[in-house]
Amino acid sequence: MANIEGAKKEVIDFLRKTLSVKDVTVIKVSKVGDGWECEAEVFEASSFIKSLGLSTKVQDRNIYALKLSGDLEVESYERKGTLSPGE
């Protein structure tokens, strides 16, 4: 049976691979029925600045929500929001 550490590891591995980022911080893991609901904080290159075609080291702090099955398979994920630096 899956445990909280396994869910956390799966979230980190999935987001690193899917979003091509280095750092992922899991900020919430909850057992819900037979599965898991998780939230993670990810720093990504600023989508606004990238849309302008500019090069920068400015990063957005994004929060992602994920749902995992009881077997720790990611069933869904979505970006919940973006926080600008200093927020």
> pLDDT tens digit string along 47-64?
788 888 888 788 889 999
**Which has the closest alpha carbon to 34: 71, 80, 86?**
71
**pTM for this entry:** 0.84
Question: What is the tally of structural domains in the chain?
Answer: 1
Enter the tokens of residue 40: 């993670």
Pairing of strands 35-45, 74-83: unpaired
Q: Which residue has the higher pLDDT, 68 or 46?
A: 68
Percent of the chain exceeding pLDDT 90 equals: 69
- What is the rounded distance in angstroms from the CA atom of residue 55 to the CA atom of residue 3? 41
**Which has the closest alpha carbon to 65: 53, 56, 74, 57?**
74
For residue 53, the surrounding DSSP H or E stretch is none
- What is the rounded distance in angstroms from the CA atom of residue 49 to the CA atom of residue 33? 41
pLDDT for 87: 52
What is the overall mean pLDDT for the chain? 90
Angle (nearest 5°) at CA 9 between 20 and 68: 90
pLDDT for 47: 77
Q: Which domain holds residue 49?
A: 4-83
